[in-house]
């Protein structure tokens, strides 16, 4: 159903690891809507993932960058600038917690791993925006989006230290949204997505049950990675120019539910 919504636009997409990644679907859909894209991911993901397959499919260049490294980010934006000049959209689709990965409970966190969780999953968003802001790399009416989860607002017992990372990420969208809006008419938002079966998603303990619970509690069912990609495309398009500093739910209605009939029947 491509409609050339992003014709002539140029964007940078962080975080496509494999075909399940939300960033992968976003890159495919943005390309189908006419955008030119630069892909990036952490150097380790180049070796373990399939990003080069995606790059070939959509005719994109790939530049490795650890999103926590200011040197890597500056080198990435050098490439982006020489390829495209200024950018029209950016997707931050990055998340990782060593505490989650290594099964540390929330009540016994390793604090140096917590620093890493924050750096990779939230501060990287500030770093990316800071580089773009100071180097004036976004076009007017450009759009910056990061992906988040509702554990920033409500407690999900197994989401661990990623809950605070997402709260910080969403706060950066509001705070930087102010500065970027004033300086360059650039909007900054987060999309809060349903549980989605990806590498990062399935790493959360009890993920299958969270998925089933979400499905039961959402009148429209869980939003898929493709649904999230479609929402990203809309947020990159000119139809959403004055939406900024928002946390936008893409969750089939889950965030406004209390209890559902199907759940009552189960209990």
Ligand X SMILES: NC(=O)c1ccc[n+]([C@@H]2O[C@H](COP(=O)([O-])OP(=O)(O)OC[C@H]3O[C@@H](n4cnc5c(N)ncnc54)[C@H](O)[C@@H]3O)[C@@H](O)[C@H]2O)c1
Q: Which residue has the tokens 């809950």?
A: 163
Residues in the chain: 267
The set of residues, in sequence order, having a beta carbon less than 8 Å from that of 196 and lying 6+ positions away, is: 22, 222, 223, 224, 225, 228
The whole-angstrom separation of Cα 99 and Cα 118 is 11
The whole-angstrom separation of Cα 210 and Cα 218 is 12
41 binds ligand X per the rule CB under 6 A:
yes
| Selected binder of ligand X within 114, 200, 223, 232 (CB under 6 A) | 200
Q: Which residue is closest to ligand X by CB?
A: 201
Residues β-bridged to residue 87: 138
Region near ligand X per CB under 6 A, out of 1-9, 53-61, 92-100, 104-112: 92-100
The whole-angstrom separation of Cα 210 and Cα 246 is 25
Binders of ligand X among residues 103 to 132 (CB under 6 A) are 120
Q: 12 or 96: whose CB is closer to ligand X?
A: 96
223 binds ligand X per the rule CB under 6 A:
no
250 binds ligand X per the rule CB under 6 A:
no
Q: 138 or 204: whose CB is closer to ligand X?
A: 204
**Closest distance of CB 187 from ligand X, Å:** 19
- Tell me how far apart the terminal alpha carbons of the chain are, to the nearest angstrom: 41
Total residues at interface with ligand X (CB under 6 A): 27
DSSP string, 112-125: HHHHHHHIIIIIHH
149 binds ligand X per the rule CB under 6 A:
yes
The whole-angstrom separation of Cα 53 and Cα 48 is 12
38 binds ligand X per the rule CB under 6 A:
no
Q: 125 or 180: whose CB is closer to ligand X?
A: 125
| Selected binder of ligand X within 130, 153, 199, 205 (CB under 6 A) | 199
Residues in the site for ligand X, rule: CB under 6 A?
Answer: 14-15, 17, 21-23, 41-42, 45, 66-68, 93-96, 120, 147-149, 193, 195-196, 198-201
């Amino acid at each position: 159903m491509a409609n050339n919504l992003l014709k002539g636009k140029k964007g940078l997409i962080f975080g496509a690891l494999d075909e399940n990644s939300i960033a992968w679907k976003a890159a495919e859909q943005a390309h189908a809507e006419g955008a030119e894209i630069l892909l990036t991911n952490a150097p380790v993901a180049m070796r373990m993932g399939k990003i080069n397959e995606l790059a070939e499919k959509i005719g994109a260049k790939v530049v490795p960058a650890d999103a926590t490294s200011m040197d890597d980010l500056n080198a990435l934006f050098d490439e982006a600038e020489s390829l495209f000049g200024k950018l029209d959209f950016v997707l931050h689709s990055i998340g990782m917690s060593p505490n989650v990965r290594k099964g540390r409970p929330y009540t016994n966190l390793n604090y140096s791993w917590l620093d890493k969780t924050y750096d990779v999953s939230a501060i990287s968003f500030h770093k990316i925006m800071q580089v773009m802001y100071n180097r004036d790399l976004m076009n007017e009416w450009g759009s910056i989006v990061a992906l988040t989860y509702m554990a920033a607002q409500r407690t999900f017992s197994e989401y661990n230290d990623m809950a605070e990372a997402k709260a910080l990420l969403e706060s950066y969208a509001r705070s930087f949204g102010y500065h970027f809006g004033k300086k360059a008419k650039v909007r900054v938002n987060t999309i809060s997505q349903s549980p989605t079966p990806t590498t990062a998603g399935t790493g959360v303990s009890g993920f299958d049950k969270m998925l089933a619970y979400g499905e039961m509690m959402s009148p429209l069912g869980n939003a898929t990675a493709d649904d999230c990609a479609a929402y990203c495309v809309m947020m990159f398009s000119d139809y959403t120019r004055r939406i900024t500093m928002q946390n936008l739910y893409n969750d089939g209605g889950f965030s406004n539910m209390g209890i559902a009939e199907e759940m009552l029947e189960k209990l």
